[in-house]
Structure 1
Amino acid sequence: MIGLEFLTIIDYYNVVPMIKIVVKKNGKTVREGIFDQSIISIGRDKVNDIQFGHYDKPPYVSKFHAAIVENEHGDYFIRDLGSTNGTKVNGEKVYRRILREGDLIEISGYTIEFEKKEEIVLPPDGLKKEQKRVICSEGTTDSTFYEHQKTGSYEEVDKALSTLCIIKDKTSFLSHLLEEICRISNATLGYYSKILNGGLSLPRCKKGIIGLNIPRPSYKLFKYVKEKRGIYWDTALRNGEPQEKTMALAMRFDIFNEPGFFYLEIAKYNFEKNSKEIVPKLSLLLKKSEEYLSKIPKKFHSVEPKKFMWKEKMVFNSKLPCMAEVLEKLERTSKNKLNVLLYGETGTGKEVAAKKIHSLSGRSGEFKAINCKRASPDTISVELFGTKKGIFTDVGDTPGLFELAHKGSLLIDEVECLTPEIQEKLLRPLRNKKVSRLGSKKEEEVDIKVIFATNEDLNEKFKQGLLRKDFYIGRVLEDEPIELPPLCERKDDIPLLVNFFIDEACDDKIQAIHSKAVKRLWKLKYDWPGNVQELKSVVLRALTTAKQGDRQIILEEDIAEALPGEGINVEEHKDNYKDRCIQFKGIERAECVAIIDALIKSKGNMRKTAEILGVSPPTLYAKCKKYGINSKDFKK
């Protein structure tokens, strides 16, 4: 049995759903966990969030069997991923169904139950009666909370505050503040939790913690931070056992009069050596942050639109380490002001990744973008810098993208298309964050995160002299470049992606895909040069074909019809020709497909095939040899 509970965490004014899953078989628990993500994959493969079953023992669980997914309305549904044995809800086989309280889900002998709850409370670590040590002998209290703030160097604090003061999203503010706290204290991990009766909430944000295996403060440490404002510390605990080499810090921090605290763990040697410097800095940072929060509206601006979140899932819908690494890098760069370069093939989702950086940054300004390949140099200058009234006939003062993205983010896509002259013009805005409109000498200060994107090798462009050194080395590469992996390197994501595209289409008739159709896409020997976007196009074409055939499910033949170069209807022993066309590109691929289609129509007759194609028989023979096509395979 798999017990599934919805745990609704009240994140002050936003609701954050938490899902608790308990996997049972024959009454015995085999898996359990709590998840704070919007897609939870279930199957036999180890990359799944919930992994169980064997490939050689019945009942068979598919490698990627099903997923529990949050839709754009905030509801959760169970989605079968084209499994062999299917998924049932309340005894009925389903492909996709919204989950309601009391529903019973069955997957190859395993059962899923779920219920909704208001909040989950984590108790402090250890046992109350065992807490006999005197703790926090040097911890700060009400009277000493800020007494050390005038000592030491506070450049780090000023830098942190300058970053925090442009953030208007509550969740992002806490996440950025935690990042700065961990940086100043050199903490190995940390999180922020709400103080509840009986314990603490699940973290609102966390760093250095995988999943929801949350280290907790001791009872006395929690008592101190609950009752009094201050910074307190003691030896860290793990299941009641002292971790002698690690120090735990608890720091009270209330947001909108709701009590909460930051929890950190720091190497004991490092803390004892630097505590007189670390504690005053953290005290000042927390004080200034609370002052900033008290001056702004209680409700921050709304978080990213559901429509974008849904599109974001399309690109980052992955359980693979390569994509987890990308997401980690996106989050890391979102917390600084450095320019960053995104590299990836066409269709890998560079613009979605840029928007993800912007949303994670919590910046109050807008996200703006320009594609340098689609515009002339003059147009690019006008769009980026804007114009002063009178420089062009009948055109008034017009702000450019630099001004429009103030306190936000600017994506400069296809950066390799910028001319050296435009690169030179960009140096001052990128270096000094000051910009003047075309025809004006007045400069405006702008605070923006600049994101560059490309699908080409910029190092080669630099060697060719097409990129200025002060622009490319000095500005484009300020932060570590982030490469988005192509689909050919994440083929195990295909089952999830395929079903996601079907859900996104919201078709009333077609809601599922046959397991053989999923396997065909998943195991296809094809590099997907168009990446995620190409896969989406194939799925949507197959969906249209299935509708035209008056079917409720996408079959393997629909996929075969939709694949590039696979628009041919031949028997199974000719399938190798379908895959062979895919090996070629452009004109060659079209030529290969045309020859195969003509051979099918002529039933392998070379003379008739040549007439259909309008070429001479010798030319046709040469083309067949080139593409490895044997006309005898098409004779009936």
Structure 2
Amino acid sequence: MNHIDGLEDIYQTLLKVIDVGVHVIDESGKTVIYNQKMAEIEGMEIEDVLYKNVLDVFVFQNELDSTLIQALKQETISKNVKQTYFNNKGKEITTINDTFPIYNKNKLMIGAIEVARDITRLERIIRDNIIHKGDTPYTFDSIIGRSPSLIEEIENSKRATRTSSSVLIIGETGTGKELFAQSIHNGSQRSSKPFVSQNCAALPDSLIEGLLFGTKKGAFTGSIERPGLFEQAQGGTILLDEINSLNPALQAKLLRAIQEKTIRRVGDIKDKKIDVRIIATINEDPIDAISEGKLRKDLYYRLGVVTIFVPPLRERKEDIPLLVHTFINKYNELFDMKVKGLSEEVLHLFNEYDWPGNVRELEHIIEGAMNLVDDEETIIFNHLPVTFRKKPQFKESSLSGRGDQEQIDFKKAENALSLEEYMEEAEKKYLEKALEKYDSNISKAAKAIGMSRQSLQYRLRKYDL
């Protein structure tokens, strides 16, 4: 194999597989190399950029805002420079760039190369992060249920409103941990101060530290003077959701903030005093998280001065009717409907189900069912979302309820139907029941059994119904 050809293959493969964008322009500003990652970052097709002038494809406030053009015209090297610009479709792009002029063997400049890392999505997350100040609608009255396990945790939470001790709320996803956190804040003397909430799993480690503790101008290229969430929550409460998602180094810094009641911005040398109550949540057993290295033991003891266990829905199924009533009323008002409740069959299914998504899953199912209700006042099995109806434990449910299943007798082989014949007979009976239930209204019957009107009409002709 020719040595030069082999090197070119290596270069081409490298450009395809590396996880950074590469953009090279010649001395006229025309793109000569543009890899797939760069196209993904900038939301472009390679052919829309290649062999075109960079200033004809991308929009900058002025041309020297382009680090590539700077490298070309001013022969400057720049590293870790944040750049925001627009592609030709108007999409905003934010990258961190390393840019260099390119020289030939005679030391004449022949172009420039840029290596870019995408932070567009991360910038948007920071910009759109909602800081709740006085926007905390939930109180203890918002927590629905009368089961003993829930009432006990509500009472424990009410006692916690009297102090400023840290609180650790333990519960599976969808159990309503933020309801408890907001209720504690609103019931405390801090209720008139900010309530700041941040999901620790929503951002990478490279951004979460600056977001929590703030940044000092000049700490790194492109950094600005920005207060962190702890400073913005001064005098109030900060909720750190999924605390086990923080890396150990950040957990250590958080532990220091709790112990010393001070924080230090990234890049700063001075500490700032803070007066913030910390409420943290975790969606798994903290002992398991500690043993797996996801939660520091010393942080667990510091956060868990007050510990609240929010029970999963499967352990308080007696609350299901009350929750269903609440959600039906909510969506009656939103959708201008008059649904009154569930059929006995649906309530029976709800009590059989284990609810892995907890209260959140129950609410989504009620909302989905009410989108399928026409003029009925009762939610029946066929109104439930199809993903719920198809769960294995509900496969015996039918339009007429959980009726007796036909017994199949294989003792007399000469009378046994083939599988295909049996399935056709079963389908025919099912369609007959659908038509009977909906008074031969094909549109309603088709909607109820989850198929198109055309598909149902085809089957009706097939079985001469």
Q: TM-score range by the shorter chain?
A: 0.5 to 0.7
Give the 3-state SS of the residue equivalent to 1:387 in structure 2.
coil
Gap change, CA 1:575 and 1:367, over 3 Å in 2: farther
> Cα distance 1:509–1:558, how it changes in 2: closer, same or farther (>3 A)?
farther
Given candidates 189, 214, 218, the residue that maps to 1:362 is 189
Partner of 2:264: 436
Q: Is the 8 A contact 1:492 1:522 kept in 2?
A: no
Question: Which runs of structure 2 are paired with 1:113-132 in the superposition (5 Å)?
Answer: none
Contact 1:543 1:558 in 2 (8 A): no
The structure 2 residue matched to 1:553, chosen from 377, 396, 407, is: 377
Q: Shift in Å at residue 560 of structure 1? A: 4.2
How far apart in 1 are the matches of 2:181 and 2:136? 17
TM-score by length of 2: 0.54
User: Which of the residues 147, 160, 174 maps onto 1:347?
Assistant: 174
Counterparts in 2 of 1:554 and 1:432: CA distance versus 1, 3 Å: same
| Counterpart code for 1:324 | I
- 8 Å contact kept, 1:413–1:452: yes
Find runs of 4+ consecutive structure 1 residues off by over 6 angstroms: 303-306, 598-601
Instruction: Provide the residue aligned with 1:323 in structure 2.
Output: 150
CA distance in 2, matches of 1:374, 1:306: 20
Shift of 1:323: 1.7
Match of 2:47 in 1: none
Which structure 2 residues correspond to residues 85-96 of structure 1 after superposition, within 5 A?
Answer: none
Structure having the higher Rg? 2
Deviation at 1:430, TM superposition (A): 0.8
Give distance in 1, aligned partners of 2:182 and 2:317.
24
Mapped to 2, the partners of 1:553 and 1:599 lie a distance apart of 38
Distance across 2 between alignment mates of 1:600 and 1:561:
27
Matched, 1:332 2:156: no
2:388 partner SS? coil
Aligned to 1:540: 367
Matching of residues 215-614 of structure 1 within 5 Å: 307-309=137-139, 313=141, 316-363=143-190, 364-473=192-301, 475-477=302-304, 479-505=305-331, 506-507=333-334, 509-516=336-343, 520=347, 524-546=351-373, 549=374, 551-561=375-385, 564-566=388-390, 570-572=398-400, 602-603=424-425
TM-score scaled by structure 1?
Answer: 0.40
1:304 shift after superposition: 6.7
Q: CA deviation at 1:576?
A: 8.8
Deviation of 1:523 after TM superposition, in Å, equals: 5.3
Higher share of residues assigned strand = 1
Shift of 1:468: 2.7
Structure 1: 5+ residue stretches without partners: 1-302, 578-597, 606-635
Deviation at 1:529, TM superposition (A): 0.7
| Partner residue in 1 for 2:35 | none
Structure 1 residues 517 and 405, CA, compared in 2 at 3 Å: closer, same or farther?
A: farther
Distance 1:406 1:529, change over 3 A: same
CA contact (8 A) 1:512 1:552 kept: yes
3-state DSSP of counterpart to 1:460? helix
List per-residue Cα deviations over 1:1-46 (Å, max 9, x = no partner).
xxxxxxxxxxxxxxxxxxxxxxxxxxxxxxxxxxxxxxxxxxxxxx
Distance 1:415 1:575, change over 3 A: farther
**Structure 1 contact 538–562 (Cα < 8 Å) conserved:** no
Give the structure 2 partner of residue 19 of structure 1: none
- SS across alignment from 1:342: strand
CA contact (8 A) 1:366 1:409 kept: yes
> Match for residue 12 of structure 1?
none
Distance 1:466 1:537, change over 3 A: closer
Deviation at 1:531, TM superposition (A): 0.7
Q: Does the CA-based 8 Å contact 1:560-1:566 persist in structure 2?
A: no
Distance in 1 between the 2:261 and 2:136 partners?
32
Check 1:427–1:575 CA distance in 2 against 1; reply closer, same or farther (3 A cut).
farther
Give distance in 2, aligned partners of 1:367 and 1:395: 26
Whether the 8 Å CA contact 2:317–2:351 is kept in 1: the answer is no
Deviations 1:255-297 (A, max 9, x none): xxxxxxxxxxxxxxxxxxxxxxxxxxxxxxxxxxxxxxxxxxx
Structure 1 distance, partners of 2:265, 2:172, is: 33
Q: Partner of 1:403: helix, strand, or coil?
A: helix
Structure 1 vs Structure 2 CA RMSD: 3.2
1:537 Cα shift?
Answer: 0.7
Whether the 8 Å CA contact 1:415–1:453 is kept in 2: the answer is yes
Matched AA of 1:564: F
How many residue pairs get matched? 277
**Pair 434,553 (structure 1): closer, same or farther in 2 beyond 3 Å:** same
Q: 1: CA distance between counterparts of 2:145 and 2:421?
A: 41
Between the aligned partners of 2:196 and 2:170, the Cα distance in structure 1 is: 18
User: CA shift at 1:515, angstroms?
Assistant: 4.9
Q: Which residue of 2 aligns with 1:184?
A: none
| In structure 1, C-alpha distance between the alignment counterparts of 2:344 and 2:422, rounded to whole Å | 23
Deviation readout 1:192-212 (Å, 9 max, x if unpaired): xxxxxxxxxxxxxxxxxxxxx
Equivalent pair of 2:150/2:311 in contact (CA under 8 Å): yes
Structure 2 unaligned spans of 5+: 1-132, 406-419, 428-464
Q: Which structure shows the higher helix fraction?
A: 2
Aligned partner of 1:393: which letter? T
Rate the CA distance shift 1:528–1:539 in 2: closer, same or farther, 3 A. same
Residues in 2 aligned to 1:573 and 1:462: alpha-carbon distance in whole angstroms: 47
Cα distance in 1, alignment partners of residues 196 and 288 from structure 2: 28
- Identity value in percent: 33
How far 1:471 moved relative to its partner? 2.1
Q: What CA deviation, in whole Å up to 9, does each residue of 1:335-379 have, x standing for no partner?
A: 212211101111001112111111111303211111122211121
AA aligned opposite 2:317: K
- Cα distance change on mapping 1:471 and 1:557 into 2, 3 Å: closer
Q: CA deviation at 1:518?
A: 8.1
SS of 1:481's partner is strand
Describe the SS at the equivalent of 1:399. Answer: coil
Q: Contact 2:167–2:278 (CA<8 Å) still a contact in 1?
A: yes
Is the 1:539–1:559 Cα contact (8 Å) retained in structure 2? no
CA gap 1:603/1:304 in 2 versus in 1, 3 angstroms: farther
- Aligned in 2, Cα 1:483/1:424: closer, same or farther, shift over 3 Å? same
Distance, in Å, in 1 between the alignment partners of 2:185 and 2:257 is 19
